[in-house]
Chain A
Amino acid sequence: MAAKRNSMPRPDYDLRLYVAGQTPRSVQALANLTKICEEYLAGRYRIQIIDLLEKPQLAKGDQILAIPTLVRTLPEPIRKIIGDLSNKERVLVGLDVRSGV
């Protein structure tokens, strides 16, 4: 899974999605996230996918426990959303996107 929309030097929304292997839940989460981003943040976001099975040491930095976890590193402050992101409303609230639209 390559990072998407990373052509922009500094996106408004810098997102990291932590997964552990290609589980259905991870795939679901990424699909949900991409859909929401395209809908509300087109062109202003970047998604990094971090597979902890490959890079377990990265779990420490963002205090990752739950899988999947979405971390919004930009804009600050850091926000985390855990779960498969199936509830669009809550994702938007979690990312603090609504107010920005």
Chain B
Amino acid sequence: MKLKANLNLQRDRSLPKCPTGITGFDEITLGGLPRGRPSLICGGAGCGKTLFGMEFLARGAKDFDEPGVCISFEETPEDLAQNAISLGFDLKALDRSKKLIVDYIHIDKSEIAETGEYDLEGLFIRIGSAIDSIGAKRVVLDTPEALFGGLNDEGVLRSELRRLFRWLKDKGVTAVITGERGEGTLTRHGIEEYVSDCVVLLDHRLQNGIVTRRLRVLKYRGSVHGTNEYPFLIGEHGISVLPVTSLGLTHKISDERISTGVSGLDEMLEGQGYYRGSSILVTGTAGTGKSSLAATLVNAACARGEACLYFSFEESPDQIFRNMRSIGIDLARWVKKGLLSIHSTRPTTHGLELHLVEMHTLLEKHRPKIVVIDPLSSLMNGSAGNTSDVTNMVLRVIDRLKQLGATGFFTALTSGGEATEATDLNISSLVDTWLLLRDVEADGERNRILYVLKSRGMAHSNQLREFIMTRNGVELREAYLGPAGVLTGSARVAQEARERDDEFRTLRENESRRVTLSRKLRAAEAQMAALEAEKEAAVRELESAAVEVEERRKSALAHRQEMARSRKVHLQPKLARVKASEAGA
């Protein structure tokens, strides 16, 4: 058993593959169809077999430089070209540049009679000459079983078809053979017996009134392949197959942070916002502002010049524009600038797979940085899926976004009665950041509260904050804890007023204290000045007293000299003594 597995793996490595270029198909077949071998594509009428073949050829000619030959047994080259043009392939141009030959083989039973033995060498020669004329590497036979309608000898036909497939293999061309599904068999005439290397089954089925196309690789000899049924879409650019869970959980992650568009919310997330490329889920009851939060994020991203993609399942673009204008967000201008693209569809318009394929196609087209799905929950209610289908789909979307490095923002409605920490979709474990919006009813008001339930890889705030939508956008306010729990709305406003009052009072008290103190200081200073003046006066008085004494002494001396003169006494020696004492002083 183990040996066999090893053998398979080895062969897989050595089995050359031929890329079809069909979106998604090469992924599920790990490289494409088996190179140099015929593959059978079968399915019911209108399932896209012919288109698969045409795309295989057109992409081969255009993208892989492998010319191709289409042998059509049912449609004329004109019809084929017409059909292909609607899907973006110009067969005529490829024909002119010798990259593609379309040969229409038509048998009209009414003009043919059979007598005796024959073989289909003519068909071989035609195919061979077409292949050789342009060096074709790819061949499509669409649908060779039509021969059964034109020729009577089924035995000859069978053996010739078998020979044809072997011959194609010998020629080394990669062939696609289409076959219409029969009753209980893959093809109407059982030609799957002769094409044993690779069988792909296309299918479209009606489920709850919604058609979904699916593809399944029934058999791929010598190669590992995805065995699931993969939904596919025939769109403007051909077939896109969705490799449902090609997820390897190996996507690169980013450390870059992006603003939520709400400064209060950024604060709660380490002041930096979400991680780029993460998935964010916002849940809440009706009217709690989930879409507004989405619009805020988109607005912020567009302002940074990032492309955004908005899937709306409830509102038309115009309605979104109007509603968001009411909170001061103008999304219409971003659409005009080509940064934002809004896709509004009803969940019921098609099945989940088609929604998914459409999303994939749009993701491919726009390569957005931010993707909003608003709301996820309506997919569940509206479309044909059940819970696990929707969960699966969300998983696929998240995968794809992670691969693209785009940030996903999903909203989900929770109904009032349920536990708020659970979603209908059980996707909470898939997302990286989960914000919860809640109504709080108190004091005759209904107010909104936001909190971060989880946010992987960051130390997010554990706070409850009041979520307010104003004319200028979304704001988060500090929520107060009152005796009855969190204070919101007017209770919060009252609390804020009280806090302001308190602050004012303290301010006033401080001021008056300051005034008193400075007054005291000034008084002390005044006192000091008065004392200084007193001191100065005393000094001055002291000085003038000394002068007076001297003058008195001088006048006394002068008086004595006067007296002496009048008495004719010579007082010279005494005067000299006085002078000497003056000099000494």
Contact = CB atoms under 8 A, between A and B. Distances in A.
Partners in one complex: yes
Contacts of B125: 20, 52-53, 56, 59
Given A56-B129, A59-B125, A66-B151, A80 B119 contact: no
Contacts of B117: 25, 83-84, 86
A85 B363 CA distance: 62
Nearest to B123: A65
A79 B111 CA distance: 5
Interface stretch (A6-14, A37-45, A88-96): A88-96
Given A56-B128, A56-B129, A57-B129, A65 B114 contact: no
B225 to A, nearest CB: 34
Interface string B94-130: 0000000001011100011111111111110110110
A38 B120 CA distance: 28
B147 interface: yes
A34 B114 CA distance: 18
Contact of A82 (B105, B106, B112, B128): B112
A87 interface: yes
A83 B128 contact: no
A20 to B, nearest CB: 4
A56 B119 contact: no
B314 to A, nearest CB: 57
Given A20-B121, A77-B111, A86 B128 contact: no
Contacts of B126: 56, 59-60, 64-65
Nearest to A23: B121
B160 to A, nearest CB: 9
A68 B115 contact: no
Contact of A81 (B115, B122, B123, B147): B115
Nearest to B106: A63
Interface residues of A, number: 34
A45 B38 CA distance: 44
B115 A83 contact: yes
B111 A67 contact: no
A87 B114 CA distance: 9
A64 B113 contact: no
Nearest to B122: A64
Contacts of A32: 116
A90 B504 CA distance: 118
B19 to A, nearest CB: 30
Contacts of B129: 56-57, 59
A29 interface: yes
Nearest to B133: A57
Given A63-B107, A66-B151, A81 B113 contact: yes
A86 B45 CA distance: 39
Given A56-B128, A63-B106, A86 B111 contact: no
A67 B121 contact: yes
Contacts of A56: 125-126, 128-129
Interface string A62-74: 0111111100000
A22 B353 CA distance: 57
A36 B328 CA distance: 94
B116 A83 contact: yes
A78 interface: yes
Contacts of A60: 103, 126
Given A20-B125, A60-B126, A66 B111 contact: no
B450 to A, nearest CB: 72
Given A67-B121, A84-B115, 12 more contacts: A52-B121, A56-B125, A59-B125, A63-B105, A65-B126, A66-B120, A79-B111, A81-B113, A81-B114, A81-B115, A83-B115, A83-B116
23 contacts: A20-B125, A25-B118, A25-B119, A52-B121, A56-B125, A59-B125, A59-B126, A63-B106, A65-B122, A65-B123, A65-B126, A66-B119, A66-B123, A67-B122, A82-B112, A82-B113, A82-B115, A83-B116, A83-B117, A83-B118, A87-B115, A90-B113, A91-B115
Interface of A: 18, 20, 25, 28-29, 32, 52-53, 56-57, 59-60, 63-69, 77-87, 90-91, 93-94
A-B pairs with lowest CB-CB distance, top 3 = A83-B116, A94-B113, A84-B116
